[in-house]
Structures are given as C-alpha cells and as structure tokens.
Amino acid sequence: MTSKFETDFGTPAVQSDQQVTLTIDGQAITVPAGTSIMRAASEAGGSIPKLCATDSLQSFGSCRMCLVEIEGRRGYPASCTTPVEAGMVVRTQSDKLADLRRGVMELYISDHPLDCLTCASNGNCELQDVAGQVGLREVRYGLDGANHLQDQKDTSNPYFDYDPAKCIVCNRCVRACEEVQGTFALTIEGRGFESRVAAAGGKDFLDSECVSCGACVQACPTATLTEKSVIQWGQPERSVTTTCAYCGVGCSFRAEMKGNKVVRMVPAKEGPANRGHACVKGRFAWGYATHPDRITKPMIRKKITDPWQEVSWEEALQYAASEFRRLQTQYGRDAIGGITSSRCTNEETYLVQKLIRAAFGNNNVDTCARVCHSPTGYGLKQTLGESAGTQNFDSVMHTDVVIVIGANPTDGHPVFASRLKRRLRQGAKLIVIDPRRIDLVDSPHARAVHHLPLRPGTNVAMLNALAHVIVSENLLAESFIAERCDDAAFSKWRDFVAQAECSPEVMEAVTGVPAADVRAAARLYATEGNGAIYYGLGVTEHSQGSTAVMAIANLAMATGNIGREGVGVNPLRGQNNVQGSCDMGSFPHELPGYRHVSDDATRNLFESAWGVSLQNEPGLRIPNMFEAALDGSFKGLYCQGEDIAQSDPNTQHVAAALSAMECVVVQDIFLNETAQYAHVFLPGSSFLEKDGTFTNAERRISRVRKVMPPLAGKADWEVTIALAEALGYRMDYRHPSEIMDEIARLTPTFHGVSYARLEEKGSLQWPCNDDAPDGTPTMHLNQFVRGKGRFMLTRYVATDEKVNSRFPLLLTTGRILSQYNVGAQTRRTANVAWHDEDRLELHPSDAEDRGIAEGDWVGIHSRAGETVLRATLTERVQPGVVYTTFHFPESGANVITTDNSDWATNCPEYKVTAVQVVKVTQPSEWQQRHRSFTQQQQALLKGRRKVVTEPGR
Ligand code: SF4
Ligand code: SF4
Ligand code: SF4
Ligand code: FES
C-alpha cells in the first residue's frame, strides 16, 4: 500500500543536460528532456489520474487512466509513457478525457468489492482517490457478473496479506519485484479477465521465491497487498524520518505512527543510501522494540548466582560506580574498561569512550568492530590514508566490472544487492570470489561472469595472483600510478607480485581455483572500464585480514580504479554503525577521528576540552581484556549494546573471562548472553526511542529520530552521562545535538557537522571540512588522503588453522537474510518464519562419506570445542568446506571458532576453522551446560525482586 506521506510524481526523475519547455493546461513548464508529461505536470503541481504508474518504476502504460490531449496529435496518448517535447501543448482536463477516464474506472470498480469503509486502505488508496478524482458516480455493469470477489486471500507471509479480490492487475507489484528488488518472484498468471498476480516457486507467498522485501506492498495502489500491521492498527497519523538500525547500508525510513505505536516502516524515496527500497529486516522486523522480553528496570546483584534485584536508576548507577571505583582502588586504574556498540548512535559511542578515557582514566575501550572490520580500518589507512570506504552506494550505477569478495550482499546488505543487480541487468560484469556459491553467482537476469570458489583462508593468495596477472600482462594504469602513488613502494610491490610464487599457476594449489579463471577475471577487472571492489567479513575475519584489505587497495591503485565515481574500495559494513563507532574513537589506540593516543597535539586538544589528563599509551583490546581477566588483572567491564558472549570467538574462553570479573555492567534492551554474567543491568533503548546519528558504510551521517519515549525512561546517552556523574565526572549535555557539536569541534573530518546541517542536507558524508562543507561522496579524488597512495607488500602466509586427518573440513561462517548478527532482535520477530535455527551446510559428497542425511543432527568438533547442529546438504559449498550461520546462541557456532586472529588488529579468524563433522543423536556437552545455565539465569530473572519505580528515575 502506498504512503500518504510522500508525493508520487508518477514516473522516475530523469537526468539530462537538456531542458525542454512545454505548456500544460496553459502553464509553461521546463523539465529535463526525457521526462514524461505525467511527471512534468506533477512537478508543476498538477495531478493527472493514474493507476499503473508510480515514480519508483518505469512507466508501463496499461491502465489508460492518464490519457491527455496534445495539440496537433490524434487520439489520447498516455501521459506516463509520452515524453515531453519542446513547444508541446498539453491538456489534461476536458469533457472527453473525463468521460474516457470514468469509463475505465467504471470497469475497475465493477470487479472490486465496495467495502471502502471497512477496508484497511480507506483514506490511503489510490483506486479510491482516482475514483473520486474522475468523478465516478455510478457503476452500470454491476457486481453480479463474473468477478473475483470470492478469491481466496493469501495470508501466509507473516508481514503482509495478498487479497486478490482487490487486485486491479496494474502490474506495479510485479515490476517492483523485478526493477527495485531484482528477485523476479511475481508474475501475472492467466490472461484477460482471468489474470491474477502469483508468487513463483511455491504454493503461496511464504513458500515462494519472495524474500519479503516489501517493495511490491509499497508499490500496490490498492489494499491488495497490505501490511498486517496496518490491517491490525489502522492507517498511520504521522511520520518521522529515521535510519534503519540493522545493517551498514543505513536505509532511510519513515516510521509511520499512530500515537506512540509504529504502524509501519516505509523506506524513504529521498534516502540516498536506499532510494526508497528496504529489506525484510528494516521494513518489517521492528517488533522486537516492544517485545515482552524487553527489560525496562535497572537491576543489580552481587554474584551471578544471585537473583536479580530491580532497583531505581540512581541505585543501579551508584552501585556500578562504587564497584568500578572499588576495583580501581584494589587492583589499579587499568583494572576496568568498556566496550562501545556499533548498534548505538555516534553520540552514545562517543560518550562511552569519553567516559572510559576521562572517568575511568584509561584507554581500555574497544568495540565490536574489533571482531569485524578492524582490518579495514588498518589496511585502508596504510594504503590510502583513511580508514573508510571510498564511494557512495550510487557509485555502483557507474561501474562496469564489480568484484564481490568475501561478502554475500543479497543476505548481508540486501538493499545494496538490489542496486548491484540492477546495474548488472544494465550490462555491468560481475566477478564473485567466495568459497560458497552465493546467490549473486546466479540470480535472475544477473549472473557472475566468473565465480572463483577459493579455499577458505586463501584470499591473499588469490588477490596476489590477480595482481600478478595485472603486472605481468602489462595491464597496469601506469600514468595513474606515476602521478598518484609512491614510486618506491610501487616498484617494490610490482617486483613482489611479479614473482612466479604469486602467479595464478603456482597459487592454484593453494586457492584451488584454476589459473585460467583467475587470469580471465584479472583481465576483466583491469580492462573493462570502471572496476569496483566490494568486500565484507569474508575478507577481514582472517589471520591475514589486514593483508587482504591492503591487497584489495593495491589492486584498485594498480588499475587506476580509485578517485572517481564507479570505482573504488568498498567495505560492506556489518552493523548499522560500525563505521561510526570506529570514527568515534572506540579503539584503545585512537581518539575520535583515528588519531593516535600517543599524538601529543591530539591528546592536548581532548585534555583541554574534557578537563582531564589522558593516557598516552594504547589500552586493552577486547581479546586482551579477556586474557587479563583470566590473569586476574582485569576486573570490571561496562558493555553497552554488545553481546560478546555470543559474538566473540571461543565462547568458553569468553565465558570464563566474564565469570572471572567482579563487576560486569551490561546495558542492553534484552537480557542477552553477556548479561547472564552481569552484576548490573542497565536497560537500553532501541533506535526508535532516541535521537542521534548513525554513519553507514558510505561514511554517511544520518539522523536517528526519536519516535516514541524510551521504555525504560532513559535513552542510552542519558544513561552514560548518569554513570559518568556517579563516577564523579560531569558531562553536561542536554541533547545529543550538543554531543555532535563537541564531536564536530574536536574532529577535523566532522568539521561543521551539526543537527541543523543534517536537517538542511538530509545527510552528510564525512570528511566534511572547509574544502568540502557538504561532505565527500567520493574520496581520494585528486590525491590520496595520505598524499601518495602506498602499495603494501602482501605476502601470503597460510593460516595456522590447518586441516588434518582429525579435522579434515574447513568451517566458514556467515549470515542469512532474515536474521541479524547475534539474532537478539530478529529472533524476537516473525522473521523466524524463514530461519528458526542455524544449520550446518555441507556438500553431499562429504555427507555421504559420513553417512549424514538431510536434517540429521551432526556434531562439529574443532580444536576449540564442539557443538551440534542439523545438517543441510547443498552444493553451494564445495567439498571439504562446511558453513553455518551464528544467529542463535544455543547453536554455539563460536564454541568451535578459535582464538586465531588477524596479525595486525586481532580481528578473529571466524572464517577458517578446521573441523570434523559426525552424525550424533544428542546436543553437545557445551549445549547441555549452556541450556542449564540459561535456564538458571532465566529463573533468576523471573524470580527477581521487583520494585515500583517512576519511569525516568
Ligand atoms: S497486487 Fe496491487 S500492485 Fe499488484 S497488480 Fe494487483 S493491484 Fe496492482
Ligand atoms: S516482497 Fe519483495 S521479493 Fe517478495 S514478491 Fe514482493 S517485491 Fe518480490
Ligand atoms: S538493507 Fe540494511 S539498512 Fe537497509 S533495511 Fe535492510 S537491514 Fe536495514
Ligand atoms: S498511469 Fe499511465 S497508463 Fe496507467
């Protein structure tokens, strides 16, 4: 169902250097050449009746509702399919046009239920509006003839219904699925009167190829496809623009509200990251925010075996502060630390690192980027000079060859994937480098030219082999390199990759990929125009994660694919605010803006702003905190919005470290896995309950706006301020905008960023500075941030995690579309309809060797531990490789991942674990222990001593 909170211009905007002036209803109008008459009229404030047209889709010309008269032309052309011409004179209203439109509308209404008053779309239905607009007063054909009024509804999708009785067969849904989403799940079945929309590949929507992105629902002009939430609660009354809190695409949404209740989330057409599109998570999976599992009262306990005690905010904060001070007195200033969250806003993250540096007095702050994109920060800084991706998402529409390596965008970054698929349908070429046959390898009307299914852990070997071809076959962008890159570093690199040891032929034994395929892919990337590389955690989460990021940057520089639209190095960030949490100084060695703590000038700046002296040595990283906890020197942790007990590798090690601490303070919306080891629980706020900003993978800073009051009375930023005060350190902010003002004052790349500027511009892509006050969509335009681009040597070093006869298979991990990260949110939504357990994918030949059938329980053993999952047999994985997701705590995927990590950043090597898989009949020992520990913790929660506190206290 379309939204009443935005204008629909009927057909998409057209970009053209040429302007055309025509006259519509006596008014002279100038628009870009190629614009439709419908859009021109609409931009001038007019409104031509329409049903099959909408401005997110190419015009189709089927409903005949938008007819106009054009002087000098015969007949009544459709305004949606007729482009403007200079000097054209158009009439949109006449008696004849009114008759024609009424006639068409009469036919539609003759096969449409007349239940407007009780219809969920009443007041927001284009059919209803257009019937009124054309002045339809009677329907002569009656409803007693053949009609579709008894057609069965399809209510199988958990989020929307399909009611064929209301369908006018305008085809908007089918086109939305094709053009916007790129899934091609819908067709019109039957012909003429019999024609109806059908979801392909299954008996109903849920069972079909539909991925529940909702584009069809948004495009439907009637109540045929309607959100269940709208059916249940009625039409929204107001809307607030905000930003999705799931992945790093950072889609802009309008939260459409009724009072304080979200009725639906509608992706904003003006959103630069998503251009009106969304995925099943952002559009539909927001119900977790008001889930009954939300904990909205602060709680404390002395020991993790004690029942929780609800207390006032004041008591909880005083208790946490006194414990932290006690631990520092007893064990030293560095005995405590904190973890910031990529789920939280920039302002909240900034405050947490400030609290740790200024109030704890140490640099023991880290963030979950440690376990995902820390190698991106390191690798891109070394080579290009800035720890961030180089492009915006629009850039992909100017790309000719795309390399996707170690990323699965259709699941992890679905809205970007839709944009990429659109570009592929326009003719761009795709190279996929991934051990698995991800969906992009062969999606409808968009196939990869090359899929290089390398062995897990061999990215650097593959990237060096690609570079070898580029160097040895003289495919280098020599003038770019001469002008833009450091000569000496380039020469060394060229000599290094030119060696036979880097050749595809030698590397074939390592990667498992035929040399000829690697050569062909390298030639394609280097020679076919604009080449762009998109990568994800399949690159970073390796023992050579940072090396691989540098190898990617090397490739881009060697081919001149950097510094303009359509090219670049593009990390697809996992969580919504990974970029932001890194920007905000969440690492133990860096203050906001990636400035090292040892830099005196930077430290002086913050010291005078914060009124404290700061340590000049880096603090502990997350894995070091765990080690120190087990050594007995690290005793207290403030963990905001992260679930390290589930997300970090080697779960048993993490659990032991948490158990060894004396005061764990968890701030979250649910009692997550980490909170089961906590002594203080501070209720968090969801993205719907607070103001702030997120920074997406494009470096785009976008507003998060409060649409409802915090359920626990305080937003996360307010809690951190209160904790700082309890520790005796005053933070004086009345609104997150004041925190942003401070960030902008102290961080050169955020110069001039303010809520007022964000309001004015919609969003800003940092760096913002005097040269680029409106931000920087494409980085490194004329020169690299570091001056000359620096090629880095990227020698391939095999991981220590090797297969042998005991552990003969390689496990790699990833995400699925419907679930998100540790699943704390999506598991509490109807998204479980698509994925309600993590499964182990294995190749049928490996399964046969082990006597494993589809759905069998299998034990997965690694050097770190053992867990049990059910098996899915699939040829998506190659023989010798198994794969799982990690969305459910009881799966214990991280019980088996090891402590190995990236040499430069300690980012865990999640993507390579040597395992054995055997058929079993019962859960693993760890799972049994985990189940009983969880039950015990749930009982302690249930039995908590409750107090009645005023909200906000
Ligand atoms: S379901 Fe909606 S969008 Fe699709 S054809 Fe029917 S009326 Fe048009
Ligand atoms: S929800 Fe998305 S994938 Fe499913 S049919 Fe509609 S447009 Fe296609
Ligand atoms: S693509 Fe990412 S940001 Fe966009 S709606 Fe989906 S989860 Fe949210
Ligand atoms: S809106 Fe133009 S033909 Fe349907």
Query: Which tens digit of pLDDT belongs to each residue from 568-592?
Result: 999 998 789 999 999 999 999 999 9
What radius of gyration, in Å, describes the C-alpha atoms of the chain?
29
pLDDT in tens, 11-28: 999 999 999 999 999 999
- CA–centroid distance, residue 173 to ligand 4 (Å): 14
Is ligand 3 within 6 A of the CB of residue 247? Answer: yes
- CA–centroid distance, residue 167 to ligand 2 (Å): 16
Q: What DSSP state is assigned to residue 946?
A: P
Is ligand 1 within 6 A of the CB of residue 20? Answer: no
pLDDT in tens, 809-824: 999 999 889 998 888 8
Residue 127 CA: which ligand is closest?
1
Please determine, for residue 951, whether its predicted confidence score (pLDDT) is greater than 60: no
CA separation, residue 729 to residues 317, 360, 544, 802, 887 (Å) = 13, 9, 40, 49, 38
158 band by pLDDT with thresholds 50, 70 and 90? very high
Percent of the chain having pLDDT more than 90? 88
Nearest atom in ligand 2 to the alpha carbon of residue 184 is: 8
- CA–centroid distance, residue 279 to ligand 3 (Å): 6
- CA–centroid distance, residue 80 to ligand 4 (Å): 6
Q: Tell me how many degrees the CA angle 465-384-475 measures, rounded to the nearest 5.
A: 35
CA-to-CA distance for 893 and 430, rounded, in angstroms?
A: 31
| Local structure of 429: helix, strand or coil | strand
Q: Which of 457, 450, 443, 588 is nearest to 524 (CA)?
A: 450
Look at residue 948 in the predicted model and tell me its pLDDT.
57
Look at residue 141 in the predicted model and tell me its pLDDT.
65
Mutate to test the pocket of ligand 2, among 172, 216, 280 (most ligand atoms within 8 A of CB): 216
Q: What are phi and psi of 403, to 5 degrees?
A: -105, 125
Element (H, E) at 402: strand 401-405
- CA–centroid distance, residue 61 to ligand 4 (Å): 5
Look at residue 169 in the predicted model and tell me its pLDDT.
94
Look at residue 143 in the predicted model and tell me its pLDDT.
55
Secondary structure, 3-state, 658-682: HHHCCEEEEEECCCCCHHHHCCEEE
Q: What is the number of other CB atoms lying within 10 angstroms of the CB of residue 191? A: 7
139 band by pLDDT with thresholds 50, 70 and 90? confident
Percent of the chain having pLDDT more than 70? 98
Is ligand 1 within 6 A of the CB of residue 688? Answer: no
Q: Which of 52, 51, 27 is nearest to 40 (CA)?
A: 27
Is ligand 4 within 6 A of the CB of residue 52? Answer: yes
Is ligand 3 within 6 A of the CB of residue 572? Answer: no
Strand partners, 919: 858
Mutate to test the pocket of ligand 1, among 197, 210, 217, 226 (most ligand atoms within 8 A of CB): 197
Contact status, residue 545 vs residue 907, Cβ threshold 8 Å: yes
Is ligand 3 within 6 A of the CB of residue 279? Answer: yes
Nearest atom in ligand 2 to the alpha carbon of residue 160 is: 1
Is ligand 1 within 6 A of the CB of residue 173? Answer: yes
Is ligand 1 within 6 A of the CB of residue 171? Answer: yes
Q: What are phi and psi of 669, to 5 degrees?
A: -85, -20
Look at residue 394 in the predicted model and tell me its pLDDT.
96
CA-to-CA distance for 504 and 96, rounded, in angstroms?
A: 71
Distance between alpha carbon 303 and the CA centroid of its chain, in Å? Answer: 37
Look at residue 44 in the predicted model and tell me its pLDDT.
95
Look at residue 145 in the predicted model and tell me its pLDDT.
62
230 band by pLDDT with thresholds 50, 70 and 90? very high
pLDDT in tens, 837-852: 999 999 999 999 999 9
Please determine, for residue 39, whether its predicted confidence score (pLDDT) is greater than 70: yes
What is the pTM assigned to this prediction? 0.94
Nearest atom in ligand 3 to the alpha carbon of residue 280 is: 6
Look at residue 413 in the predicted model and tell me its pLDDT.
96
Average pLDDT estimate for 600-629: 97
Look at residue 899 in the predicted model and tell me its pLDDT.
84
| Local structure of 812: helix, strand or coil | strand
Q: Which long-range contacts (CB under 8 A, 24 or more apart) does 843-847 make?
A: 843/873, 843/874, 843/875, 843/877, 843/878, 843/879, 843/880, 843/881, 843/882, 844/873, 844/874, 844/875, 845/879, 846/809, 846/879, 846/880, 846/882, 846/917, 847/871, 847/873
CA-to-CA distance for 584 and 568, rounded, in angstroms?
A: 24
User: Which residues fall within 8 angstroms of residue 316, CB to CB, at 6 or more apart?
Assistant: 298, 299, 300, 680, 681, 682
Please determine, for residue 231, whether its predicted confidence score (pLDDT) is greater than 70: yes
Is ligand 3 within 6 A of the CB of residue 244? Answer: yes
CA-to-CA distance for 634 and 620, rounded, in angstroms?
A: 10
Please determine, for residue 515, whether its predicted confidence score (pLDDT) is greater than 80: yes
Please state, rounded to an integer, the average pLDDT across all residues of the chain.
94
Nearest atom in ligand 2 to the alpha carbon of residue 211 is: 3
Residue 36 CA: which ligand is closest?
4
pLDDT in tens, 106-129: 988 888 888 889 999 998 999 999
Look at residue 679 in the predicted model and tell me its pLDDT.
98
CA-to-CA distance for 180 and 688, rounded, in angstroms?
A: 26
CA-to-CA distance for 391 and 567, rounded, in angstroms?
A: 8
Look at residue 381 in the predicted model and tell me its pLDDT.
95
Alpha helices by DSSP H, 371-514: 374-383, 409-412, 414-425, 459-472, 478-484, 487-498, 504-511
Is ligand 2 within 6 A of the CB of residue 211? Answer: yes
Look at residue 952 in the predicted model and tell me its pLDDT.
46
Pick from 421-435, 506-520, 563-577: least confident: 563-577
| Local structure of 906: helix, strand or coil | coil
Mutate to test the pocket of ligand 4, among 8, 68, 80 (most ligand atoms within 8 A of CB): 80
pLDDT in tens, 863-918: 999 999 999 999 999 999 999 998 998 898 888 988 899 999 988 898 999 999 99
Is ligand 4 within 6 A of the CB of residue 53? Answer: yes
Q: What is the number of other CB atoms lying within 10 angstroms of the CB of residue 149? A: 13
Average pLDDT estimate for 456-464: 97
Query: From atom 2 of ligand 3, which residue's Cα is the shortest distance away?
Result: 247
Is ligand 3 within 6 A of the CB of residue 414? Answer: yes
User: What does the DSSP assignment read for 783-809?
Assistant: SBTTBSB----------S----SSS-E
